Structure 1
Amino acid sequence: MRRRRLTAGCAVLAIGAGLLAGCSEEGKQDRGDCEAITADLDWAQPSRSDDARFELSGPGWVGGDSTYSVQLPQERTLWLFSDSLIGTVDEGGTPDPGMTMVHNALVVEDDSGQLSTLTRQGPESFLPAPDEQTYYWVQDAKVEGGELLVFLSLTQQVGEHGFEWERNTLAHVSLPDLEVTEVEEGFEGPVAWGAGLMTTPTHTWIYGIEDREEVKHLHVARAPAGSLADRSTWEYLGTDEWEDDPDESGRLAKGVANELSVSPFRDGYLMISSDTSQAYSPKINAWTACSPTGPWVQPQTIYETPETQGQHFTYNAHGHPELSQDGELLISYNVNTFDFQELMNNPTIYRPKFITLDLA
């Protein structure tokens, strides 16, 4: 089912030659007087019609995780997946012998809802690995300056199925043909930027996760509108002020996951993330704030994933405001299993699930 852009209390209105934003874009954590932080959020509801979008038999993508989305020109939606299973499956979910896993893949949805998979020949990852021991997982993406900018996590293979994050990179992808033109290196520091992106009239807000300890911490940077690709324009929120040095970036919240979303909500902002305060928690939480930087109020649990049981677990929930119906937020989360052989025997386990949150 095709969805329309979310209409929220913080919608941007064009007035003459200027723009009026319904939400504050204050950079400091000093606002606590908005209606958004008092909201008592409802329990989210499963969206089977959105689940069905990815119940694919192939040939092409038949399972994967991350599930970021971005609107492309020509009324297309691009879905960005990290580890993905490529091949065909029968009605019972049994894969063909040639099914393979790649570390990232793109799925393009046209204006009729038709889906097509983009990988390199082989099949191999759409964004090729730098060497035999590393690969790229995708993060959030944005169309800017006539190209698609995709944040990537350069990941090190550890053992047969283990991994370790190394650093951020940024891919430049041409439009409308979706060809990789450059993978930009040079990100330093412990924060994985691009866990979520949000655009307001004056800035792009870049949310990052520090995942070097047992607890994951939220960080935020901002770039002037239209300047996301120029990292010299970025500023990082420190203890109380914006800093030019990424090493001065401060911790803003904890218990968030490696993927999340922030979007306008009433007269403030709404952050959606899987709960990581406990290992493999089934909870999906929502935080609210009056500013894109917080402070984020105590999270509310809006859903518990029924798939989390036995060997199965869920993770990396985030919203898709650009695909949401008026007055609600469409949210995806990923499903996986600790039993890798089970996954290879039944790729249908490895598909995103969707829920909708009422924002009225």
Structure 2
Amino acid sequence: MKKLALLCLIACGTMQTTLAQTTPVNLTDIKFTVAEAPEWSAMLKRDKGWFGGDGIYSIPLNGVEGKQAKANDKILFIFSDTMVGEIKDNTMAPGYKMIHNSVAILDGNRPQPDKMKFYWDTDAKGEAESVFIPKTPKTDTSDYYWLGDGFVNEADKATYIFGYRVRNVAKAAFGFREVGNTIIKIPAGSKPPYKDLKQTDSPFYLQGEGDDIGSYGTGIYVNTKAAGAPKPDGYIYTYGVRGVYKKMSVARVKPEDFENFAKWTYWDGKAWVSDIDKAATLIDGVSNELSFSALPDGRYVLVHQGWGMSSDVYMRLAASPVGPFGPPIKVWNTKPDLEEKTFVVYNGKAHPSLSKPGELIISYNINSVEFIKDLTKHPYLYRPRFVRVKFE
């Protein structure tokens, strides 16, 4: 617990903008209202089967990332650590199991529980198992996946997801450590649990001294006409976050070159370069999951949890996918959700495919540093909550 508090204090340091650019765009002010989106939160409050998970990303399977999905579209949701079992008498019934990732598919664009189906795999004993299990040359037998962002690539219609290889390490601050980055490719038309997927070790794991590690895949912005981007330049922008100060950088690549890692370039503060080690820190104080979206007025918005694991969700206005970025604007304070001192909140992000024009649906995760103990008393705790931001 002392280590957790220390890391939080370090991560809650001062945010700073290190991308020196000037622009006439207003990056400090935007008019909006915000309120709970209880219908979306209720959709993930479930008693049987999938009853908890974090790491939520939404991927419109029509490939149109920049606007609300249509009523006849399908949206893929991906989750990291997931609870499978049953809730009875307001506690977890015996036989529950945690797996490291799962998925769900929503038919349509409305929060209708009967239209959302959850999927996981099963092991040799018929028990719940993760959908995505690392199987690459760099994988250790004990590695498992947590999931980054994903998208449907217009070049081949496959779904690409960033997989973070994680390993339990006794000496690590939280008992685990990210050790690698993988690209997961799901062929067009494949159905969960995706037995025909492809996994490729990538160079997008950021390794430095001590806790100065991270990955690309934290958030993806598909800036193409096919994806519905208002000012398309034909590139896929992928954001990375590293270290306890949550420093954010960005890479880009054309859709047809997504698997050709030599074609990726990185913003060094002035130009796009091929050396990943020269990527500039755009801002710090973000979170390990975030979102970057276009606004109707021509600006962009980055949504993230403040300083990794603070109780506040922020947005920052941007002039372009590489910035500059304005100061943090508080969107939502999650303290009313923190019934126990052991609860933590993290990884706020927006979901454009769930959002009506002029608004953004934003999710954040709730967890506990005394996980099983608190879930026994609060079995519905471990699931995303949602709020709705309306721009005026």
TM-score, with structure 2 as normaliser: 0.78
**Residue of structure 2 in register with 1:77 after alignment:** 75
* Residues 1:184 and 2:167 are matched in the alignment: no
Aligned partners of 2:53 and 2:81 also within 8 Å: yes
Alignment map for 1:303-314 (pairs within 5 Å):
303-305=332-334, 306-308=336-338, 309-314=340-345
Mapped partners of 1:260, 1:181: distance in 2: 25
Aligned partners of 1:61 and 1:107 also within 8 Å: no
| 1:281 to partner: Cα distance | 1.5
In structure 2, give the amino acid aligned to 1:206.
T
Mapped partners of 2:286, 2:60: distance in 1: 25
* Residues 1:209 and 2:237 are matched in the alignment: no
**Residue of structure 2 in register with 1:115 after alignment:** 116
Which segments of 5 or more consecutive residues in structure 2 lack a partner in the other structure?
A: 1-18, 63-71, 208-213, 225-233
In structure 2, give the amino acid aligned to 1:116.
K
| 1:234 to partner: Cα distance | 1.2
Mapped partners of 1:176, 1:56: distance in 2: 28
| 1:174 to partner: Cα distance | 2.3
Mapped partners of 1:321, 1:76: distance in 2: 14
Mapped partners of 1:93, 1:51: distance in 2: 18
* Residues 1:157 and 2:187 are matched in the alignment: no
Match of 1:33 among 9, 12, 24: 24
Mapped partners of 2:374, 2:188: distance in 1: 34
Aligned partners of 2:28 and 2:326 also within 8 Å: no
| 1:231 to partner: Cα distance | 2.1
In structure 2, give the amino acid aligned to 1:75.
D
Secondary structure of the 1:349 match is: coil
Judged with a 3 Å threshold, the aligned counterparts in structure 2 of structure 1 residues 146 and 51 are, in CA distance, closer, same or farther, namely same
**Residue of structure 1 in register with 2:187 after alignment:** 174
Judged with a 3 Å threshold, the aligned counterparts in structure 2 of structure 1 residues 109 and 343 are, in CA distance, closer, same or farther, namely farther
Mapped partners of 1:321, 1:139: distance in 2: 17
Aligned partners of 1:85 and 1:347 also within 8 Å: no
Mapped partners of 2:140, 2:116: distance in 1: 30
Match of 2:367 among 330, 336, 353: 336
Which segments of 5 or more consecutive residues in structure 1 lack a partner in the other structure?
A: 1-27
Mapped partners of 1:136, 1:119: distance in 2: 13
CA RMSD of aligned residues (A): 2.0
Secondary structure of the 1:322 match is: helix
**Residue of structure 1 in register with 2:356 after alignment:** 325
Count of residue pairs the alignment pairs up: 326
| 1:131 to partner: Cα distance | 4.1
**Residue of structure 2 in register with 1:352 after alignment:** 384
In structure 2, give the amino acid aligned to 1:174.
P
Mapped partners of 1:101, 1:314: distance in 2: 19
| 1:132 to partner: Cα distance | 4.1
Aligned partners of 2:28 and 2:327 also within 8 Å: no
| 1:157 to partner: Cα distance | 0.7
| 1:29 to partner: Cα distance | 6.4
Aligned partners of 1:198 and 1:204 also within 8 Å: yes
Identity within the alignment, %: 27
